[in-house]
Amino acid sequence: MHGSKDATKATCNAHEELKEGLPPASEQDFEDAKRGFIATIPDAKVLNEAGNPVWDMGQFAFEAEGCDCPDTVNPSLWRQAQLNSIHGLFEVVPGIYQVRNFDISNITFIEGDTGYIVIDPLISAEPAAAALKLMREQRGDKPVTAVIYTHSHVDHYGGVRGVISDEDVRNGLMIVAPEGFLEAAVSENVLAGNAMGRRATYMYGSMLPRNAKGHVDSGLGKTVSMGSVSIVPPTKSICETGEKLVIDGVEIVFQVTPDTEAPSEMNFYFPQFKALCMAENCSCHMHNIYTPRGAQVRDAKAWSYYINEAMDLFAGEAEVLFASHHWPRWGKDRSVDFLKKQRDMYKYVHDQTLRLANHGLTPIEIAEEIQLPPTLAAEWYTRGYYGTLNHNAKAVYQRYLGWFDGNPANLHKHPPVEAGKRYVEAMGGVDAVLAAGRKAYEAGDYRWVAELVNHLVFADPANEEARHLQADALEQLGYQAESGPWRAFYLTGAQELRNPRAPSDAPRPGGAGTILALPPDQLLDSMSVRLNGLRAGTREIALNLHFTDTDERFLLSLENAVLHHLPGRKNENAAASLTLTQAALAHVLVGQATARQQIEEGHIAVEGDKSAVIELMELLDFFDFWFEIVMP
């Protein structure tokens, strides 16, 4: 393995320059992050059934409060990393408790009359179960009486099996979520899940070492847990702002906030506790309007609007504000000031991006020019630890004007490999490109090295000198990055350039845990994006499906190289009629069995042409999770 290098003089100088523009030093965030501490477990270390760690804060002991910032870490990000290293069970107010930094997100427990209402059960089951165990040890061994998903991102529902049982599900335990939750979750984590999951390994530094030259923090939290991911569909959808529920004796007033930080999201207020939960719509940094792992661009204008609406609805009464990430804020004045500046931050990015776009600036030009105004720049909680002003401005442009900047030269560019070959030839060959790249590196112009040498890497990925020079440049950009995801992208790219992965023997798809838990309608929907249209060609196949476990019927049809599924429909002339369970189909889709095996073993009963069933399933692609990113 080729290892990491030290920070250069140019990187150290960049850090010193950054320090001059940081907000005034303050211990208030550290006091808030520690307030109400009750207990934790050693190093917040959580193991799976096989005894392997799926979460281990002990790996980040080098960031303990009081440790000096190393040259290889942006000093502003280092402060955020130290805040996100404070872990355990905390009292927000009597009756509301959070376990923080057992995953990238917080899990919150509300004490009801008979048990615990769980808000956002983390990414995976093992950390969620460990958090519930800690809560029970400290506050009493009570049952979970309901689960609330604040929104449709996996770090807020994926660990639900760690806090509820199969019996809870069979008994219809209330699971509350905003309207459109399941559709949004499937869109992000299944339909585009393989690509998004692979890019997430970059964004969260999953493969990086935990040290000062590797992963230190994600800004939003430490990193992502690596345990068992699942989904249990909600039993109750919140459709309107002002809707109220009383769950286990606790009154909750909801505010729906669609198309904000997630397509499906909601805030809510607890009158008896005078506590406002802002979900992930407000956090202690600038969030992503576009997330580098890939997702639909968010509506910064709507985001700002709904923060303002939350202020109008709840801020006059609320005495504490907490969220699905980071630490709470206590006191009306502090909470309102925080909400105002979070509101105005997203509105400012929206408005100023469009102002500059209407002057004719392109997204890249806007991103270089835009700056926060002094009142917003003066706060630590507007820093770009997760989202950045640079890529968020590009996101606003994309939402309104799309990927094309209007310059016809960018309308139909060559793909990276073909462009790379032409650039290298135009510059005078490989040696000339390397010489120019080395000169730029010595000058500390790492952005130009990354842009220039990328062409050579794609033209000739076997050129080890080019890969290593590109890696060196990306590494220094990572050391300089204030954003946790930017750092992780740069450093992961450097790691993979230095140590190319051997080709996969067979595709290894991502997202199996979520796919296995999907209801039939969503499962069939996921098949459509896996159909290989070129191989499907002119084939036409119709199948009648009956899922015995849910008693749902669908007509599945292939025509014009498009797969459709229609609920409650039947084609008398279908090639075959299938009787099956959701699990029987899901096991085929995640590669645990073939359609032929499921038919032969009786898990799928077929009346009619079995070969048509097998033929259709063989037209589905299997995605390889480990596709290349920094090389062809």
Asked whether 282 and 338 are in contact (CB, 8 A), the reply is: yes
CA distance 541 to 616: 7
CATH superfamily of 1-26+413-500: Alkyl sulfatase, dimerisation domain (1.25.40.880)
User: pTM of whole model > 0.85?
Assistant: yes
Helix (H, G, I), strand (E, B) or coil at 412: coil
Return the closest-CA partner of residue 488 out of 267, 222, 260, 270: 222
Q: Tokens 């050579």 sit at which residue?
A: 456
CA distance 351 to 490: 29
CA distance 15 to 478: 12
Which CATH code, of 3.60.15.30, 1.10.10.10, 3.40.140.10, 3.40.50.11540, is assigned to 35-392? 3.60.15.30
Can you give the pLDDT at residue 509? Answer: 67
Ordered by start, the domain boundaries in the chain are 1-26+413-500, 35-392, 512-618
Q: Which residues of 382-394 are buried (b: 16+ CB within 10 A; e: fewer)?
A: bbbbbbbbbbbbb
Helix (H, G, I), strand (E, B) or coil at 117: strand
Equal fold, 1-26+413-500 vs 35-392: no
Can you give the pLDDT at residue 588? Answer: 95
Can you give the pLDDT at residue 1? Answer: 61
* Average confidence (pLDDT) per 10 residues, the chain, 632 residues: 91 97 95 98 96 97 94 98 98 98 98 98 98 98 98 96 95 96 86 90 96 98 96 96 98 98 97 98 98 94 98 97 98 97 98 98 98 97 98 98 96 97 98 98 98 98 97 98 98 97 73 83 94 96 97 98 97 97 95 95 97 97 92 96
CB atoms within 10 A of CB 479: 28
Distances in Å between the Cα of 613 and the Cα atoms of 49, 297, 403, 540, 607 are: 37, 38, 40, 12, 11
The number of CA neighbours under 13 Å toward the Cβ of 93 is: 17
CA distance 558 to 273: 54
How far from each other are the two terminal CA atoms of the chain, in whole angstroms? Answer: 21
Q: Evaluate the CA torsion angle 216, 222, 227, 232 in order and state its sign.
A: negative
Helix (H, G, I), strand (E, B) or coil at 479: helix
Per CATH, domain 512-618 is 3.30.1050.10: yes
